[in-house]
Structure 1
Amino acid sequence: MPKRIPLQRRGRAKPKFRPRTHKSLGKIELPKQENTGIILDLLHDNIKSAPIMKVRFGKDVMLLAATNGSRVGENIMIHKLADLPEGSLVCNVESRPGAGPKLIRSAGGAGRIVGKEGKLTSVLLPSKEIKKIHSECRAIVGRVAGAGMTEKPMLKAGAGFYAMKAKGIIWPRVRATKKNAVDHPFGGGGKTLGKKKTVSRHASPGRKVGSISARRTGKRRGKK
């Protein structure tokens, strides 16, 4: 019986390939009405990169990505983008009014308000993209805590393995050309693939690797 390559095994989504979402503390969200809350606790979440703060808004207790300098017992304010001046740093930003925080929630992330035009506010994201968001969307002023997370060295391979395992990522990743022929279509032989990289859309599951049904390959030259 032929051996299933990892690409086929991943498609079945067995526990090995799933993120450990059952260890997550919960969903990050904003209240519907209240705009002022008090921080009850600062927590660590295995799934998320940033620290999490537990905040009480009236009768509701919700989770948010913690901002720099957050302390237990402090008050926290939620602002509409329309009420904030240009140049303000924001995080936990809604993508649509009332949708809850969807943007700028990872450790060390911060967006900057760079302009306003009618009902839209332009926000410079950490990726350097400028996104236009409805001015009624809400956000928290400040930068997400945990900015030095990526500067901490792994020191050993096992630490990196378990860090990726929490997110459902198989690590370390071996290049296809370095595998045996039984493990991957590009495996075995020398340094090159030894065959075409493009495959048909209707190829068998064990062969569907590389550029699948590519319209064109190679470096794009000229204006077209």
Structure 2
Amino acid sequence: MALKQYNPTSPGRRGLVLVDRSALWKGKPVKSLTEGKRKTGGRNNQGHVTSRGIAGGHKQRYRFIDFKRRKWDVPATVERLEYDPNRSAFIALITYEDGEQSYIIAPQRLAVGDKVVAGSKVDVKPGNAMLLSQIPVGTIIHNIEMKPGKGAQIARSAGTYAQLVGRDRGMVIVRLGSGEQRYVRGDCMGSIGAVSNPDNANTNLAKAGRNRWLGKRPLTRGVAKNPVDHPHGGGEGRTSGGRHPVTPWGKPTKGARTRHNKSTDKMIIRSRHAKKKR
């Protein structure tokens, strides 16, 4: 889908660049595949803000997406492509031959009327899903499971994809968009193709209010605060915030490594930080 650029008829229109969604379904989603979604305002069950910068936003319904694709060898037809407010990618409504319907993440080049199927080994076509051990080396994939049957966790966002680059002892080697190469079990599922809506990265919202519609509140920079409110605060005149950028609670940020769960390090062949270390 193309990008839409607007004439500067008002300050809020100047610079506005959005994705053209005219080809998507204009009606409501399938009611049985959705549920109501409550806003939290970033607050926990005690009313304390635990995630800053969250509030408001347009009312949304959550669409149930089939990330597991375990209905094997039953062909399905793409009924329509839809917008999903809960994710950056578009979704596709598919109807199986037995009449069951479900939503899947829509890959690029998937069109209304196309047939998709999931199985242990199926045709290598956009939208089809199969075991990673059966996918040819070099194939572009998305919706990749990390544990068999858990559902896809890797490459689900708009325009993202990974590449299957090899096999080794019942595992497959996957190169992620970050440059990381890692092992994934061969009995995990993956879908063929790259995720739809790659132009999402090129949009420009043009005004703060449009971010508020998405549920995002403004965040004050630490250097603009007082010392009592932030480690970067205070100082005479305009200061940059010191040598080591930290969060309001003193944790290193802006590039400092904070990853502590090392249980999957053995699955990583090449770190995404490999270039930075040299």
Q: What is the TM-score when the length of structure 2 is the normalising length?
A: 0.58
1:92-103 matches, within 5 Å, as 92-103=143-154
1:152-171 matches, within 5 Å, as 152-163=203-214, 165=215, 169-171=216-218
1:32 corresponds to 2:70: yes
Question: In the alignment, which residue of structure 2 is the partner of 1:120?
Answer: 171
Asked if 1 retains the 8 angstrom alpha-carbon contact of 2:143 and 2:154, the reply is yes
Asked if 2 retains the 8 angstrom alpha-carbon contact of 1:39 and 1:75, the reply is yes
Alpha-carbon distance between aligned partners in 1 of 2:160 and 2:240, rounded to the nearest angstrom: 40
Asked if 1 retains the 8 angstrom alpha-carbon contact of 2:232 and 2:241, the reply is yes
Q: Secondary structure at the match of 2:210?
A: helix
In structure 2, the CA distance between the partners of 1:193 and 1:118, relative to structure 1 (3 Å rule), is: closer
Runs of 4+ with deviation above 6 angstroms? 18-21
Alpha-carbon distance between aligned partners in 1 of 2:151 and 2:229, rounded to the nearest angstrom: 43
Asked if 2 retains the 8 angstrom alpha-carbon contact of 1:97 and 1:136, the reply is yes
Q: What is the TM-score when the length of structure 1 is the normalising length?
A: 0.71
In structure 2, the CA distance between the partners of 1:146 and 1:16, relative to structure 1 (3 Å rule), is: closer
In structure 2, the CA distance between the partners of 1:47 and 1:211, relative to structure 1 (3 Å rule), is: same
> Quick one: which amino acid aligns to residue 211 of structure 1?
K
> Quick one: which amino acid aligns to residue 137 of structure 2?
E
> Quick one: which amino acid aligns to residue 24 of structure 1?
Y
Alpha-carbon distance between aligned partners in 1 of 2:213 and 2:162, rounded to the nearest angstrom: 30
Question: In the alignment, which residue of structure 1 is the partner of 2:101?
Answer: 61
1:75 corresponds to 2:115: yes
Q: Secondary structure at the match of 1:149?
A: helix
1:49 corresponds to 2:96: no
Asked if 2 retains the 8 angstrom alpha-carbon contact of 1:40 and 1:55, the reply is yes
Aligned residue among 167, 178, 181 for 2:224: 178
Asked if 2 retains the 8 angstrom alpha-carbon contact of 1:29 and 1:62, the reply is no
> Quick one: which amino acid aligns to residue 194 of structure 2?
R
Alpha-carbon distance between aligned partners in 2 of 1:91 and 1:121, rounded to the nearest angstrom: 14
Identical columns (%): 23
Q: Secondary structure at the match of 1:209?
A: coil
Question: In the alignment, which residue of structure 1 is the partner of 2:181?
Answer: 130
**Higher normalized helix content (fraction of residues):** 1
How big is the alpha-carbon RMSD for the aligned residues of Structure 1 and Structure 2? 3.3
**Deviations 1:201-220 (Å, cap 9, x if unpaired)?**
xxxxxxx72239xxxxxxxx
Q: How many residues align?
A: 190
Question: In the alignment, which residue of structure 2 is the partner of 1:221?
Answer: none
Alpha-carbon distance between aligned partners in 2 of 1:112 and 1:68, rounded to the nearest angstrom: 15
> Quick one: which amino acid aligns to residue 74 of structure 1?
D
Offset, 1:120: 0.2
Of 25-34 and 48-57, the range deviating more from structure 2:
25-34
> Quick one: which amino acid aligns to residue 114 of structure 2?
E
Offset, 1:124: 0.8
Q: Secondary structure at the match of 1:82?
A: helix
Question: In the alignment, which residue of structure 2 is the partner of 1:203?
Answer: none
Q: Secondary structure at the match of 2:63?
A: coil
In structure 2, the CA distance between the partners of 1:135 and 1:21, relative to structure 1 (3 Å rule), is: farther
Alpha-carbon distance between aligned partners in 2 of 1:117 and 1:52, rounded to the nearest angstrom: 33
1:210 corresponds to 2:250: yes
Offset, 1:22: 4.9
> Quick one: which amino acid aligns to residue 90 of structure 2?
P
In structure 2, the CA distance between the partners of 1:14 and 1:210, relative to structure 1 (3 Å rule), is: closer
Structure 2's unaligned 5+ residue stretches are 1-42, 117-127, 253-278
Alpha-carbon distance between aligned partners in 2 of 1:84 and 1:75, rounded to the nearest angstrom: 18
Asked if 1 retains the 8 angstrom alpha-carbon contact of 2:57 and 2:212, the reply is no
Q: Secondary structure at the match of 1:70?
A: coil
Question: In the alignment, which residue of structure 2 is the partner of 1:10?
Answer: 49
Of 53-62 and 185-194, the range deviating more from structure 2:
185-194
